A and B are shown apart, each in its own frame.
Chain A
Amino acid sequence: MKSLKKLLSVALVGVMCVSVLAGCDSNTASGQASAGAATETFKIGGIGPITGGAAIYGTAVMNGAQIAVDEINAAGGINGYQIEYKFEDDTHDAEKSVNAYNSLKDWGMQALVGTVTTTPCIAVADYTAQDGMLEITPSASSTDVIVNDNVFQVCFTDPNQGTASAQYIGEGNLATKVAVIYDSSDVYSSGIEATFVKEAENQNFEVVAVEAFTADSKTDFSTQLQKAQSAGADLVFLPFYYQEAAIVLKQAKDMDYAPVFFGVDGMDGILTLEGFDTTLAEGVILLTPFAADAKDEATQKFVATYQEKYNEIPNQFAADAYDAVYAVKAALEAANATPSQTAQEIGNLAIPAMTTITVNGITGEMTWQATGEVSKTPKAVVIKDGVYVAMD
């Protein structure tokens, strides 16, 4: 069923591409006098895993960005030019990601919305930096991603997630005693853990246990949970991915331990894990910039379109991608870019413009620092009856 859906979404994107191309052809036929075919549209590329273990993220980004592109095109495009959008699969592999980048460059890409996951993004960012291309990643959250000046993030950086989580727990008085379980063999997880524990010192709760696991021992969490329980933790912070979180939730239930579980963006996806008993995730809180049930008009419109097109409630990756496309639009408009310029020419103007723009997106009101980090307010969602519900 899932593969069918994937196939369908790929086919849909294919249809979109073809129709956009068809539009392009008719444009050239009528506007031959002014400019050549290649200069008629902005070419925006996307890279991410749409097959493999991280496919859930890449597919969401591909679909979310597509919705933004369609909307912008329907509303008249960027500076009056339509957008052409092409997405390449990298299966969450750094080498394939660089290959995908090269093939998009051959296609004529002028700005990149991607890549989706951290490790490939670090590899691709070196190439975009050489080429001077504007790159906005919706979801690669490591600080290593933004070492180059041309890369900007829509999601929070890992250290920010740790700090923001601690502040959220403290300010919301969610717990008095907190335990942390993290993956010490993973940069993402240990990065969040470090800043969380640091920020916890300034908050009104106490960290009573910090327990680690590694990639080689990520099947049994009973000991870590037992230690958290013995230490009296009423909240357990889980800064890692949903696959392991699913085991943690199951084992906690087996030992009748029911604290509040608090996750970060890696937890997103747990509800769509095939075969997962969603009652296990009841009451799990996660820090995410996006809540699908938010009442504002932009979010509701996005969620409705996404559901209609892809038959799924969008997660935060889809929302981040949607906002990333609008960020590209804002930067290109601020830079007065035209499709006839090369990627580097556009980059030279649009990259400095990134720090001047404000995008009021569905993941919050965003501004960017020259480092590439985004500033926006985190929101938290809680899982109720198998769906995400906004905390406030």
Chain B
Amino acid sequence: MDFLSYLINGISLGSVYAIIALGYTMVYGIAKMLNFAHGDVIMVGCYIVFMMMGKAGVPPIVAILGAVVICTVLGMGIEKLAYKPLRRATSLAVLITAIGVSYFLQNSALLIFGADSKSFTSVVNLPNLQLAGGKLTISSTTLVTVIVCIVIMLALSFFIKKTKAGQAMLAVSEDKDAAMLMGINANATISLTFAIGSCLAAIAGALFCSAYPVLTPYTGSMPGIKAFTAAVFGGIGSIPGAFIGGILLGVIEIFAKAYVSSQLSDAIVFAVLIIVLLVRPTGILGKKIHEKV
């Protein structure tokens, strides 16, 4: 029974990583840049949900919608102001800019909301699920997180494969210049990618803080790094890869804590990552990139 509980905890943690990793992987796949500010957009999303639910007293679903709208606008704004002017710059310059945006968001939150921790009220207000005569309890937050994660992954896959805008994204990710020659508005496509990524960040934020309810301006940074790891683990740029990477990372982390050592869990997670990358340098589902000669 313990094993099952650990597994469920692992999947729960992993699905939060997975939703965040989806945002990383989308942006990387299409814009070919690491958006390190992604974790901080999550934090902004958490604060907006917290403020709307706690201060304005709106129902959770309205608060999440509000956060989605604000984060989407924020994500597009960041893209337009900070990343778009650097479209032709080296990838290192963009990376440093992303780190800068990350610090900017953290310190702005520090200024606006203060450094005091806030206790987040769960957006999921359902009874816990009892199985096996009460021996196994699955919290409603876990269930909702896993379901939302799967729905988002399927919706994103559908969007990319079946819609015109999704096809445009695929084309831009394959070859931006060729896509532009074919009449695709690459800038609008990249903007849309950031919009979707930030919208996912808002949802991820609400779910993350529901499961782990203490909110500070630095809330986003650690899960952001873990989710980035998950995205690399699953194969960065691949949507199912981000999902699998996230779930695996969560499960490995919890199992390492449960069966090896609670102190060494992070070391074990990253050791597994190194081994996977040695065997499969592009991650589990990553595409092999052929070097052009």
Interface residues of A (CB under 8 A from B): 2-3, 51-53, 55-56, 184, 211-214, 216-217, 219-220, 222-224, 226-227, 230, 243-244, 246-247, 250, 254-256, 273-277
Q: Is the CB of A247 within 8 A of B212?
A: yes
Across the interface, which residues of B come within 8 angstroms of A184, CB to CB? 263
Give the complex CA separation of A251 and B201 in angstroms.
Answer: 23
Question: Looking at the complex, which one of A3, A216, A255 makes contact with B266 (CB distance below 8 Å)?
Answer: A216
Whether A277 touches B121, Cβ cut-off 8 Å, given contacts A246-B213, A254-B139, is yes
Nearest-Cβ distance from residue B232 to partner chain A, whole angstroms: 17
Q: Scan B199-220; emit 1 where CB is below 8 A from any A CB, else 0.
A: 0000000000001111010000
Nearest-Cβ distance from residue A272 to partner chain B, whole angstroms: 9
Q: Which positions 242-269 of chain B face chain A at CB distance < 8 Å?
A: 253-254, 257-258, 261-263, 265-266
Give the complex CA separation of A63 and B223 in angstroms.
Answer: 37
Q: List 25 A-B contacts (CB under 8 A).
A: A2-B116, A55-B114, A211-B257, A212-B261, A216-B222, A217-B257, A217-B265, A219-B212, A219-B223, A220-B13, A220-B212, A220-B253, A226-B2, A226-B6, A226-B9, A246-B119, A246-B213, A246-B214, A247-B212, A273-B119, A273-B214, A274-B119, A275-B50, A275-B54, A275-B119
> Within 8 Å of chain A (Cβ to Cβ): is B115?
yes
Q: Is the CB of A220 within 8 A of B254?
A: yes
Nearest A-chain residue to B140, judged by Cβ: A254
Nearest-Cβ distance from residue A27 to partner chain B, whole angstroms: 39
Question: Looking at the complex, which one of A3, A212, A220, A255 makes contact with B137 (CB distance below 8 Å)?
Answer: A255
Across the interface, which residues of A come within 8 angstroms of B117, CB to CB? 53, 243, 246, 273-274
Question: Looking at the complex, which one of A2, A256, A277 makes contact with B128 (CB distance below 8 Å)?
Answer: A256
Q: Is the CB of A55 within 8 A of B115?
A: yes
Question: Looking at the complex, which one of B54, B258, B263 makes contact with A223 (CB distance below 8 Å)?
Answer: B258
Q: Is the CB of B137 within 8 A of A256?
A: yes
Q: A2-B116, A217-B253, A222-B5 are in contact. List 18 more A-B contacts (CB 8 A).
A: A212-B262, A212-B263, A217-B265, A219-B222, A223-B9, A223-B257, A226-B6, A226-B258, A230-B2, A254-B137, A254-B142, A255-B139, A273-B117, A273-B119, A275-B54, A275-B120, A275-B121, A277-B121
Question: Looking at the complex, which one of B139, B216, B262 makes contact with A224 (CB distance below 8 Å)?
Answer: B262
Give the complex CA separation of A224 and B117 in angstroms.
Answer: 23
Nearest-Cβ distance from residue B131 to partner chain A, whole angstroms: 12
Q: Which positions 27-44 of chain B face chain A at CB distance < 8 Å?
A: none
Question: Looking at the complex, which one of A55, A223, A247, A274 makes contact with B262 (CB distance below 8 Å)?
Answer: A223
Across the interface, which residues of A come within 8 angstroms of B263, CB to CB? 184, 212, 214
Interface residues of B (CB under 8 A from A): 2, 5-6, 9, 12-13, 50, 54, 114-121, 128, 130, 134, 137, 139, 141-142, 211-214, 216, 222-223, 253-254, 257-258, 261-263, 265-266
Nearest B-chain residue to A185, judged by Cβ: B263
Give the complex CA separation of A224 and B9 in angstroms.
Answer: 11
Give the complex CA separation of A223 and B114 in angstroms.
Answer: 31
Whether A52 touches B115, Cβ cut-off 8 Å, given contacts A219-B222, A247-B214, A275-B120, is yes
5 closest A-B pairs (Cβ-Cβ)? Answer: A276-B119, A254-B139, A219-B212, A275-B119, A223-B257
Give the complex CA separation of A277 and B9 in angstroms.
Answer: 23
Give the complex CA separation of A51 and B114 in angstroms.
Answer: 8
Across the interface, which residues of B come within 8 angstroms of A243, CB to CB? 117, 214, 216
Across the interface, which residues of A come within 8 angstroms of B137, CB to CB? 254-256
Nearest-Cβ distance from residue B246 to partner chain A, whole angstroms: 14
Across the interface, which residues of B come within 8 angstroms of A246, CB to CB? 117, 119, 213-214
Nearest-Cβ distance from residue A202 to partner chain B, whole angstroms: 26
Whether A226 touches B115, Cβ cut-off 8 Å, given contacts A220-B212, A254-B128, A256-B128, is no
Give the complex CA separation of A226 and B12 in angstroms.
Answer: 14
Whether A250 touches B213, Cβ cut-off 8 Å, given contacts A3-B114, A255-B139, A256-B128, is yes
Nearest-Cβ distance from residue B66 to partner chain A, whole angstroms: 17
Nearest B-chain residue to A256, judged by Cβ: B137
Nearest-Cβ distance from residue B46 to partner chain A, whole angstroms: 11
Nearest B-chain residue to A3, judged by Cβ: B114
Nearest-Cβ distance from residue A252 to partner chain B, whole angstroms: 11
Across the interface, which residues of A come within 8 angstroms of B5, CB to CB? 222, 226, 255
Nearest B-chain residue to A255, judged by Cβ: B137
Of listed B130, B254, B263, residue having the most chain A CB within 10 A: B263
Q: Is the CB of A227 within 8 A of B258?
A: yes
Nearest-Cβ distance from residue A109 to partner chain B, whole angstroms: 27
Nearest-Cβ distance from residue B10 to partner chain A, whole angstroms: 9
Question: Looking at the complex, which one of A56, A247, A254, A274 makes contact with B141 (CB distance below 8 Å)?
Answer: A254
Nearest-Cβ distance from residue B209 to partner chain A, whole angstroms: 10
Q: Is the CB of B116 within 8 A of A222?
A: no
Across the interface, which residues of A come within 8 angstroms of B216, CB to CB? 53, 243
Question: Looking at the complex, which one of B54, B116, B121, B258 makes contact with A53 (CB distance below 8 Å)?
Answer: B116
Whether A214 touches B266, Cβ cut-off 8 Å, given contacts A53-B115, A55-B116, is yes
Across the interface, which residues of A come within 8 angstroms of B115, CB to CB? 51-53, 55
Q: Is the CB of B119 within 8 A of A213?
A: no
Across the interface, which residues of A come within 8 angstroms of B13, CB to CB? 220, 222
Nearest A-chain residue to B222, judged by Cβ: A216
Nearest A-chain residue to B1, judged by Cβ: A230
Across the interface, which residues of B come within 8 angstroms of A55, CB to CB? 114-116
Q: Is the CB of A220 within 8 A of B119?
A: no
Across the interface, which residues of A come within 8 angstroms of B12, CB to CB? 222
Q: Is the CB of B214 within 8 A of A213?
A: no
Give the complex CA separation of A89 and B2 in angstroms.
Answer: 48
Nearest-Cβ distance from residue A389 to partner chain B, whole angstroms: 22
Nearest-Cβ distance from residue A217 to partner chain B, whole angstroms: 6
Nearest-Cβ distance from residue B148 to partner chain A, whole angstroms: 17
Give the complex CA separation of A277 and B254 in angstroms.
Answer: 27
Give the complex CA separation of A184 and B115 in angstroms.
Answer: 23
Across the interface, which residues of A come within 8 angstroms of B214, CB to CB? 243-244, 246-247, 273
Nearest B-chain residue to A215, judged by Cβ: B222
Nearest B-chain residue to A222, judged by Cβ: B9
